[in-house]
Structure 1
Amino acid sequence: MPVYVLDSNFFIQAHRFHYPIDVAAGFWKKVRQLAEEGRVISIDKVKKELYDKNDALEDWCRNNLPEDFFKDTSVVMGAYAQVTGWAMSRSGHYLPNALNEFLNADEADAFLVAYCLADNANRFVVTQEVSEPNRQNKVKIPDACIALNVSYVNTIEMFRQLGETF
């Protein structure tokens, strides 16, 4: 069974723009259900990005996601080395600040790709980012996924693949 690994922008953009917690209860109920079933998970780095704002989204996550929802990325350091190796090999394309941001140990992006790369057959990155291969000032998750043969989808495609509606 495939597992979908959620980027922080899955939560943030849903809450701020498309499915506010106070309006789109069906969306959030479905996310909670999928999390409880283990069909969607995330990583510790995403938790750090979500749990620093003291807002309604953080409250929702604390009160609705299973205790083991955010997975430890220290177990995928071999895959992380592959991701960093790829990024560094692109130093002729990406600006130094873009690489520094992508490879920052506190940022989730490279770890999301690594977490999925570590079990490539069963894990999909879920992100709202889109590929921009010519962009030099930001390393986009889809571009890293494409280069490393990691599957990724956006929110709506995830729900389609899961056969879920809300």
Structure 2
Amino acid sequence: MKNYCVDANIFITAWYINYPINIFPSLWEKIANKKDEIILIKPIFDEIEPISSSDHKLEIAEKRTKYPIRMWLIENGFTETSIDDDINKTSLELEKAYEINDISKGADNKDILLISYAKEKNKTVVTLEGNQPQKPKEKYNYKIPLICQEQKVKCIDFVQMIGGLGIRI
């Protein structure tokens, strides 16, 4: 059962900085084996190394070099989850409540959609964004964990998700 709504930074930062696949291949293999518990909503999936239209004709090996995370997701059967009208409605309400705009230093529209999906479906948000011990003066500077806290949506980090998935390396 899918439980974890994953932010794009989970894959991008973990892959390139914290847990590179060339050093932690077994971790990524185990994550792939748990794909049925991981939700990538369409806007988040689209954010992770989208393959440009001019590169669709590249050979698979070239795509793996140029778009390693995207190709790993595809080759391991990760799929995008669509957003329905109820989630869009919740998202619009949260965007208004948290004053989301182009100058926001906190959550953006995709983050709000992620939170909305988790809220509507009673799932857990997974992000690498840090907690904000003090609320910013402006709501448009709230990050994912603070919005989740206010909306009573469970929010965890990558390592907590790995533990929740029962992955041991």
Write the mapping of 1:82-161 to structure 2, written as runs, cut at 5 A.
82-88=93-99, 97-98=103-104, 102-103=108-109, 108-120=110-122, 123-132=123-132, 133-134=135-136, 138-161=141-164
1:73-118 Cα offsets, whole Å, 9 max, x none, are 2341122133223213xx8xxx861079723xxxx21110011011
**What amino acid maps onto 1:39 in structure 2?**
E
Gap change, CA 1:100 and 1:7, over 3 Å in 2: closer
2:21 is paired with a residue whose SS is coil
Gap change, CA 1:135 and 1:12, over 3 Å in 2: farther
CA distance, structure 2, for counterparts of residue 24 and residue 135 of structure 1: 40
Deviation, structure 1 residue 155: 0.8
CA distance, structure 2, for counterparts of residue 100 and residue 151 of structure 1: 18
CA distance, structure 2, for counterparts of residue 27 and residue 145 of structure 1: 27
Partner of 2:47: 49
CA distance, structure 2, for counterparts of residue 135 and residue 49 of structure 1: 29
Partner of 2:57: none
CA distance, structure 1, for counterparts of residue 136 and residue 42 of structure 2: 30
Partner of 1:74: 84
Work out the percentage of aligned pairs sharing the same amino acid.
Answer: 22
Gap change, CA 1:81 and 1:29, over 3 Å in 2: same
Deviation, structure 1 residue 144: 1.2
Q: Is 2:74 the counterpart of 1:62?
A: yes
* Residues 87 and 99 in structure 1, CA contact (< 8 A), matched pair in contact too: no
State the TM-score, normalizing by the size of structure 1.
0.79
State the TM-score, normalizing by the size of structure 2.
0.77
* Residues 83 and 144 in structure 1, CA contact (< 8 A), matched pair in contact too: no
Write the mapping of 1:21-36 to structure 2, written as runs, cut at 5 A.
21-35=21-35
1:9-37 Cα offsets, whole Å, 9 max, x none, are 110011111111222111111111110xx
**What amino acid maps onto 1:8 in structure 2?**
A
Q: Which structure would you say has the larger Rg?
A: 2
Unaligned runs of 5+ in 1: none
Partner of 1:7: 7
Unaligned runs of 5+ in 2: 52-65
**What amino acid maps onto 2:103 in structure 1?**
N
1:16-63 Cα offsets, whole Å, 9 max, x none, are 11111222111111111110xx21121101111113264211221121
Q: Pairwise CA RMSD of aligned residues? A: 2.5
